[in-house]
């Protein structure tokens, strides 16, 4: 799930969650009545827990006056009766940093909302919730619950067995305390939820098989943190080793398991498999943590329509309805309407369960379709934002010219599809003569770059007044093309501690990007963090690293000049899309001592505090590559680059390169 989501229409919104057209107060005509119930799945909440803490600046509350995790659980209890929700499922990654108590406190408060209203839930530990985050590599010799020191695990201290026992649906936990099962009742039937934490051991899997054997007539939903993932196309399901192991050792041999839900992998997908009994098992992954605002409060709602033999899935955000209208933007979607987030699974429940529950009967219809009610709750009265159409530039100078600009590189002017010359100069449009020069092809030693690896292009962002770009290609390993400032450029020593700064770039990740291009650099400042005398922590990076991570996140990691160049601060976007032009802006406010990263005009969630300016080691800036452990350049960029601008003050959006010279 990337940041570039299709926008809804816009406008004002209601101030309260729920709301809308709750038609359950009147009995619908018999022909429209159904026997159904709802379940809510809470996808990975890790960033909600992390960025609602004092130590991360309470970023949600500061910007919106509320927090998404609490908004989710409060909405659930407020609407549990109307939507006939007997049970809630959490898929793990409750927190982001397992050894940060403030994050556990946020999660504790949010889940206590359910407990206070006696609404039972299952919960499990994701990889971020355990002290040793080791993935499955084909065996069970490391990383499972069997290798953990149970008394040390924060998850068991915050969400231990005694707390779980207070749930009215609680069945048992395994001896490790990491895995649990519940039995809930709905529409005259009983269902089992088997919730298994990150890396279940062989004993944990044996325990799960035993639970099903001891409850042989109950239809079961299996919840894991990891089971299936999303393929590179962002849509198709993809099986993984751990999930295949669980399929062989647990799922396919137990006909009771008719549905699985997991998180961990960013996005949403589903897959149908056939078990040893010839019956379908519906597998689903749902995780929105890499979307806008760490998921933007999105949750998954399932209606089990027993009358029409359907499972209806919806994905929506009660929190978006609750945000102040002035904070909304195109990324604030109250519902996701694509086929992986809103869908219907056909399932003849009586036939599917006949092999183990021959007495399964559908109760008499009594209510309106819950999916219809939930959709009305989300959409009725919600208009989002009134989108003001962006104005295309009238000419190449149609952008806000800012006096404090210290460098502005505009990559256009060459013939489309032709190579940039060796030592090609990109003039500085700021007038300060901080020009960029294409690096010699043979530098650094071993570079296999060819002249044609860097070409002019007429392609550009629709709001950039520069009528072209440059395209970096054939970038992998030691082969890369890049630009550098002159060794004597004044910009090399600028620290911006008195002024703050704004850095903008138009970028387009090439459609051929893979994880082999992970940590490629948009722009860096030369140097090695270990050379700052006071520096502590991971020291291999340069003082400024403007890059793309292995998860296609924009990373802006710097050593600030103030309070001291002793540690790094990192802003992160969510996952961005390939083959799409994006405007990225980084704004450092020296008064607030905050740095905010924006992608396509929207502020990201993971921003930084207690940071002013940029520390310097007096070395050149590099565009299209970077440094690592003082060596370089390396980590070449793959894709298009339109303009890069550095301004010695924080700019509002009205002065960005996406704005016009005269509004």
Whether residue 234 has pLDDT greater than 90: no
User: How many C-alpha atoms does 333 have within 13 Å on its Cβ side?
Assistant: 23
Whether residue 184 has pLDDT greater than 70: yes
Mean pLDDT of 120-142: 97
Whether residue 4 has pLDDT greater than 60: no
CA angle 140, 145, 150 (to 5 degrees): 150
Whether residue 7 has pLDDT greater than 60: no
Question: According to the model, what pLDDT value does residue 232 have?
Answer: 75
Domain 406-655 maps to which CATH number in 1.20.990.10, 2.60.120.200, 3.30.460.90, 3.40.50.300?
2.60.120.200
Domain 23-379 maps to which CATH number in 3.40.50.2300, 2.30.110.10, 3.60.21.10, 2.40.50.140?
3.60.21.10
Residue 521 · residue 639 · CB < 8 Å: no
pLDDT band at 26 (very low <50, low <70, confident <90, very high): very low
Mean pLDDT of 291-297: 94
Could you tell me where in the chain the CATH 3.60.21.10 domains are found?
23-379
Whether residue 30 has pLDDT greater than 70: no
For 184-212, give the secondary structure using H, E and C.
Answer: EEECCEEEEEEEECCCCCHHHHHHHHHHH
Helix axes 101-116, 68-79, angle to 10 degrees: 10
9-13, 336-340, 481-485, 578-582: range with lowest mean pLDDT: 9-13
Question: According to the model, what pLDDT value does residue 330 have?
Answer: 84
Whether residue 22 has pLDDT greater than 60: no
Please tell me whether residue 220 adopts helix, strand or coil conformation.
Answer: strand
Give the residue from 406, 280, 400 showing the smallest Cα distance to 663: 400
Question: According to the model, what pLDDT value does residue 15 have?
Answer: 22
Higher pLDDT, 584 or 13: 584
Q: Give the tens place of pLDDT for each residue, 465-510.
A: 999 999 999 998 889 999 999 999 999 999 999 999 999 999 999 9
CA R_g for the chain: 27
For the chain, what percent of residues have pLDDT higher than 70? Answer: 95
Beta strands in 225-362 (DSSP E): 228-230, 237-239, 257-262, 267-274, 280-287, 299-305, 310-316, 343-346
Question: According to the model, what pLDDT value does residue 31 have?
Answer: 54
Whether residue 550 has pLDDT greater than 80: yes
CA dist 194 and 260 (Å) reads: 9
Whether residue 662 has pLDDT greater than 90: no
CA dist 613 and 444 (Å) reads: 29
For the chain, what percent of residues have pLDDT higher than 90? Answer: 89
Any residues with CB less than 8 A from the CB of 650 and at least 6 apart, and which? Answer: 500, 501, 502, 587, 588, 589, 590
23-27, 435-439, 638-642: range with lowest mean pLDDT: 23-27
Residues in the chain: 663
Could you tell me where in the chain the CATH 2.60.120.200 domains are found?
406-655
As a whole number, the mean pLDDT across the chain is 93
Any residues with CB less than 8 A from the CB of 38 and at least 6 apart, and which? Answer: 83, 84, 85, 301, 302, 303, 304, 370, 374
Mean pLDDT of 540-554: 96
Whether residue 254 has pLDDT greater than 70: yes
CA dist 463 and 392 (Å) reads: 5
Question: According to the model, what pLDDT value does residue 383 have?
Answer: 85
């Amino acid at each position: 799930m990337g940041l570039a989501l299709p926008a809804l229409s816009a406008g004002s919104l209601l101030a309260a969650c729920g709301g809308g057209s709750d038609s359950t107060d009147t009995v619908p005509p018999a022909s429209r009545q159904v026997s159904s119930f709802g379940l809510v799945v809470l996808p990975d909440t890790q960033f909600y827990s992390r960025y609602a803490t004092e130590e991360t600046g309470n970023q949600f509350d500061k910007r919106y006056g509320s927090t998404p995790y609490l908004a989710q659980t409060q909405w659930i209890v407020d609407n549990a009766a109307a939507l006939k929700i007997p049970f809630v499922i959490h898929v793990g990654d409750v927190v982001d940093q397992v050894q940060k108590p403030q994050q556990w406190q946020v999660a504790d408060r949010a889940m206590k909302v359910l407990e206070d209203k006696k609404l039972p839930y299952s919960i499990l530990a994701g990889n971020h919730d355990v002290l040793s985050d080791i993935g499955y590599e084909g065996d069970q010799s490391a990383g499972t619950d069997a290798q953990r020191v149970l008394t040390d695990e924060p998850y068991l201290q915050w969400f231990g067995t005694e707390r779980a026992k207070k749930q009215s649906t609680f069945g048992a936990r395994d001896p490790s305390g990491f895995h649990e099962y519940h039995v809930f009742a709905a529409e005259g039937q009983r269902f089992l939820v088997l919730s298994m934490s990150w890396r279940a051991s062989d004993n944990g899997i044996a325990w799960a098989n035993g639970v099903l054997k001891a409850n042989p007539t109950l239809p079961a939903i299996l919840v894991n943190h990891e089971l299936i993932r999303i393929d590179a196309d962002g849509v198709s399901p993809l099986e993984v080793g751990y999930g295949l192991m669980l399929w062989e050792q647990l799922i396919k041999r137990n006909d009771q398991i008719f549905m699985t839900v997991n998180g961990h992998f960013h996005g949403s997908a589903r897959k149908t498999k056939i078990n040893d009994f010839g019956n379908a098992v519906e597998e689903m992954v749902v995780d929105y943590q890499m979307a806008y605002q760490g998921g933007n409060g999105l949750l998954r709602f399932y209606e089990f329509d027993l009358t029409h033999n359907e499972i209806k899935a919806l994905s929506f955000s009660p929190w978006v309805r609750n945000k102040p209208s002035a904070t909304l933007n195109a990324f604030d979607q109250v519902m996701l309407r694509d086929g992986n987030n809103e869908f219907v699974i056909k399932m003849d429940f009586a036939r599917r369960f006949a092999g183990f529950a021959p007495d399964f009967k559908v109760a008499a219809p009594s209510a309106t379709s819950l999916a219809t009610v939930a959709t009305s709750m989300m959409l009725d009265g919600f208009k989002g934002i009134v989108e003001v159409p962006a104005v295309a530039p009238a000419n190449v100078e149609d952008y806000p010219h800012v006096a404090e600009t210290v460098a502005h590189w505009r990559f256009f002017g060459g013939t489309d599809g032709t190579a940039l010359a060796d030592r090609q100069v990109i003039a500085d449009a700021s007038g300060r003569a901080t020009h960029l020069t294409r690096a010699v092809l043979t530098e650094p030693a071993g570079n296999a770059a060819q002249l044609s690896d860097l070409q002019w292009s007429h392609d550009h962002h629709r709001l950039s007044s520069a009528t072209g770009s440059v395209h970096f290609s054939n970038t992998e390993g030691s082969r890369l093309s890049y630009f550098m400032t002159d060794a004597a450029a004044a910009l090399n020593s600028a620290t911006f501690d008195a002024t703050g700064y704004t850095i903008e770039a138009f970028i387009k990740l090439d459609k051929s990007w893979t994880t082999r291009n992970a940590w490629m650099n948009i722009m860096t400042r030369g140097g090695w963090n270990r050379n700052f005398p006071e520096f502590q922590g991971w020291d291999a990076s340069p003082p400024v690293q403007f890059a793309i991570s292995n998860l296609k996140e924009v990373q802006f990691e710097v050593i600030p000049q103030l309070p001291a160049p002793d540690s790094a601060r990192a802003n992160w976007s969510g996952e961005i899309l390939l083959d799409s032009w994006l405007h990225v802006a980084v704004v450092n406010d020296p008064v607030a001592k905050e740095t905010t990263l924006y992608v396509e005009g929207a502020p990201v969630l993971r921003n930084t505090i207690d940071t002013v300016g940029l520390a310097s080691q007096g070395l050149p800036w590099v565009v299209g590559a970077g440094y690592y452990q003082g060596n370089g350049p390396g980590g070449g960029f793959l894709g298009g680059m339109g303009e890069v601008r550095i301004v010695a003050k924080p700019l509002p959006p009205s002065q960005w390169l996406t704005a016009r010279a005269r509004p």
